[in-house]
Amino acid sequence: MGQSNQLAHRMASKRINLVDASGNPVVGKEVQLKQTNHKFLFGSGIFNAIEVANKNVPPDRLAFLEEKLDKFLDIFNFATLPFYWGVFPGYWGGFEPERGKPRTQELKAAAQWLKDRNVTVKGHPLVWHTATAPWLLDMSNEEILKAQFARIEREVTDFKGLIDMWDVINEVVIMPIYDKYDNGITRIAKDLGRVGIVKEVFAKTRESNPGSTLLLNDFNTSINYEILLDGCLNAGIQIDAIGIQSHQHQGYWGREKLEEVLDRFSQFGLPIHFTENTLLSGHLMPPEIVDLNDYKVTDWPSTPEHEERQAKEVEEMYTILFNHPLVEAISSWEFSDDGAWINAPSGFIRKGNSLKPSYEVLQKLIKGDWYTNTTCETDENGMVSFEGFLGDYELICGDKKVSFTLDIDAETVRMVI
Amino acid sequence: MGQSNQLAHRMASKRINLVDASGNPVVGKEVQLKQTNHKFLFGSGIFNAIEVANKNVPPDRLAFLEEKLDKFLDIFNFATLPFYWGVFPGYWGGFEPERGKPRTQELKAAAQWLKDRNVTVKGHPLVWHTATAPWLLDMSNEEILKAQFARIEREVTDFKGLIDMWDVINEVVIMPIYDKYDNGITRIAKDLGRVGIVKEVFAKTRESNPGSTLLLNDFNTSINYEILLDGCLNAGIQIDAIGIQSHQHQGYWGREKLEEVLDRFSQFGLPIHFTENTLLSGHLMPPEIVDLNDYKVTDWPSTPEHEERQAKEVEEMYTILFNHPLVEAISSWEFSDDGAWINAPSGFIRKGNSLKPSYEVLQKLIKGDWYTNTTCETDENGMVSFEGFLGDYELICGDKKVSFTLDIDAETVRMVI
């Protein structure tokens, strides 16, 4: 456990009045206060939860994936599950690869599996021009919007309680001008305008799950995205968190750019999620590539030298983000190099499940420096005070155990053991 | 007069039933239909109207400026007058150079002088971070906004009836990040956000003159401005026309860029004004200059070779803009090289008032190709039909004259001579 003024916003103090079943103060006893979860969301995409939960792969592969998931659960409390409407070629099979046959049950099993293990799940994304349903192309714009609404309503309703956080719409800055290929979503984005489509799909998502946390998500961190957010907020759209992608296949942003981006997107006073973070443990992608999907390599090795670099970058970046009061979540895009997007060595574990140095860095930060585990003694009134990182805790006294949550508004509480 | 399908949106047909004072049809008479003004707004900045109207310069200079203004009136029906709150160094003395002493009377005289000559006047601008009032720097942000509101209310109310068109706010895309020097407007733009400040100042302007035509104006023609407009419109701000600056000191955009800009800004279905157009008849400014104000030269000659280039560019650009159905106004930023911004040879007339080829091109287009002057004979029922460019007309029959306006919804009208 570490404490510093820079992290004051991540911590709280609590006074506990410990009494026994008869209401008498528990005096002079050793008490262990052990953090069991973070309030902050540390996570990654972990699409393999689908296979693990559904056990629909051969036993060898299943065992391998279970080992992968164990390593995920050891450090993370937050997972992104895929909801691409159509097939994402070379990456994921799609939520509704065949019209009328959504993979609802499979994804529900995965979300449940994660929830059972205390992991918060986010669905990604409900609306995007890439990997959308191809049958939208046969529709009028009015029909496309209706189909998109129906798809939002179906998924958001079906997963309510399992998934209450959504990347509602992805990459709106380029949505109406995306010209790699024709698709239904770009067509309606042209029609409705950027703010118009955000307004429509946010309203539909909110209506389907009023208590959900809804994100706008973009890789464009320029002034374009600032102006879009400004427009959306002024149009009365409730954005619960600003999603910022940070795929750094072409090199780590570095402290200066990272702080500059944080500074600019802090103007809205909204929570910020780093939704898709990538830092490589291999060679960098050439800078001239614009759409990262265009870089095709069959072998992109993770090397010891680059693993050291990745570990340093991960340490610096996560520290900067955890220090920033508005950041509430960091998701790495990948957890493992196995099955990684565009084959990149972008995970914290290698293809064979062995840990990279970056994993160990994260483990040290998330479960060490930024985690509270302390022991103290109750005074003559049965009182014990402690300061810790926000999140879930167990109070252990002898063979008794009480669970509680430490939040900003922590006050004195009475606990019975 | 020219007619082509490309210009169908600029024209209308009218049937006139000509009768005499007793109501009898005027049969078999020659009738001249003579356009006296355009509906389309062709104009420029013409700050010298202030000196001419107020006669507050030495007689020689006054005679020179009167000659300049005559040449302006020969081709243009639209004028931009300056309302920079503070001094614009090296360019214009400011509307309120000393706090509490606005030049209202001087500017009113200029606006009246132009109105008397059938010229529509636009005020430029009500809000801008450049050349704003320096005393805002001593105020809190709340006070700055209040002072800006008071300034809007004062000018817009004082000039109502003389000026009913305003560039309300200028260059909002960079407004909150403008960092050349501290200024009151950038401070409140940071506070309110881009859409927020637009919303506030549009509301105040609209309230002060509900019937006015209000523009947002920017030099940034990138996706930034599109997203800003989208945001403003979705926030319920009534923008009557999109103002696009096109200072081409570093070279003519060319057909492709011009059509691409028109295409992108047409998505909103709003009227488009080219508010600040510059095409040079001299050497071009080096491309590395970002803020055009930073280019300082004492001598920037207009040369015969470059005057030919300017004339060709003016012809092509005005033709493309006049062909586009959403464009309703083109203002050159300068009319004459005399007193031109940053000393550029950006006028249609030279420093000594002689005409450049670009002036003659405009005269041919505005008062020739795109102007209607036709003669026909009434039939046995006193009917005469004609098609012409939208605008004001005189019907002349013998020694009788009737004025009328030709607009899109032209129907058969009865005229008494």
Rg of the Cα atoms in chain B: 23
Chain B positions contacting chain A at CB under 8 Å are 173, 177, 190, 193-196, 199, 223-224, 227-228, 230-236, 267-268
Which residues are within 8 A (CB) of B46 and not within 5 positions of it... i.e. 6 or more apart? B69, B72, B76, B79, B80, B81, B114, B335
Please name the residue of chain A whose CA is at the shortest distance from the CA of residue B196: A234
- The values of phi and psi at residue A32, to 5°, are -105, 130
Would the CB atoms of B227 and A173 count as touching at under 8 Å?
Answer: yes
Tens of pLDDT along chain B (417 residues) come to 444 578 999 999 999 999 999 999 999 999 999 999 999 999 999 999 999 999 999 999 999 999 999 999 999 999 999 999 999 998 999 999 999 999 999 999 999 999 999 999 999 999 999 999 999 999 999 999 999 999 999 999 999 999 999 999 999 999 999 999 999 999 999 999 999 999 999 999 999 999 999 999 999 999 999 999 999 999 999 999 999 999 999 999 999 999 999 999 999 999 999 999 999 999 999 999 998 989 998 899 999 999 999 999 999 999 999 999 999 999 999 999 999 999 999 999 999 999 999 999 999 999 999 999 999 999 999 999 999 999 999 999 999 999 999 998 767 888 888
Distance in angstroms (rounded) separating the CA atoms of residues A232 and A223: 14
User: Residue A340's closest CA among A139, A91, A163?
Assistant: A91
Q: Round to whole Å and give the CA distance between B141 and B144.
A: 5
Tell me the ipTM for this assembly.
0.82
The residue ranges of every structural domain in chain B are 5-37+375-416, 38-369
**What pLDDT, on the 0 to 100 scale, is given for residue B26?**
94
Residues of B in contact with A188 (CB under 8 A): none
Distance from B9 to chain A by nearest Cα, in Å? 24
In this complex, the residue of B199, B223, B230 whose CB is nearest that of residue A195 is B230
pLDDT in tens, A323-333: 999 999 999 99
- Chain A / chain B CB contacts < 8 angstroms: 68
Question: Cα A141 vs. chain centroid, distance in angstroms?
Answer: 32
Average pLDDT value for chain A: 96
- Alpha-carbon span B153 to A362, nearest angstrom: 58
Chain B residue with CA closest to A268: the answer is B193
Superfamily of domain B5-37+375-416: Immunoglobulins (2.60.40.10)
Is it the case that residue A258 has pLDDT exceeding 70? Answer: yes
Residue pair B205/B156 in contact (Cβ under 8 Å)? The answer is: yes
Q: Counting every residue, how long is chain B?
A: 417
| Distance (Å) from the alpha carbon of A309 to chain B's nearest alpha carbon | 34
Topology annotation, domain A38-369: TIM Barrel (3.20.20)
Beta strands A41-45; A78-82: pairing state = parallel
Contact between A227 and B227 using a beta-carbon 8 Å cutoff: yes
Q: Which three-class secondary structure state does DSSP give residue B406? A: strand
Nearest to B231 among A173, A231, A267 (CB): A231
Q: Closest to A195 (Cβ–Cβ): which among B173, B199, B231? A: B231
Cα B163 → chain centroid: 12
CA-based nearest distance B231→chain A, Å: 4
Alpha-carbon gap, residue B44 to B57, rounded angstroms: 22
Contacts of A233 in chain B (CB under 8 A): 193, 195
Distance CA A116, CA A37 (A): 14
The residue among A230, A242, A265, A267 with the most chain B CBs within 10 A of its CB, best to mutate, is A230
User: Which residue in chain A has the smallest CA separation from B174?
Assistant: A223
Name the residue among B177, B230, B267 with its Cβ closest to that of A231: B230
Comparing CB atoms, the residue among A173, A194, A230 nearest residue B195 is A230
Helix (H) or strand (E) holding A61: helix A59-75
Which residues have CB under 8 Å from B112's CB, separation 6+? B53, B162
pLDDT of residue A160 exceeding 50, the answer is yes
Closest-CA distance of chain A to residue B199, Å: 9
For B160, counting Cβ atoms within 10 Å of its Cβ (0-12 exposed, 13-18 middle, 19+ buried), the class is middle
Residues B47 and B93: their CA atoms lie apart, in Å, by 11
- The span from the CA of A223 to the CA of A338, in Å, is 35
3-class SS at A363? helix
Does residue A410 have a pLDDT over 70?
no
Would you say the C-alpha torsion A258, A264, A269, A271 has a positive or negative sign?
negative
List, in sequence order, every residue forming a beta bridge with B397; answer none if it has no partner. B400
Contact B231, A232 (CB under 8 A): yes
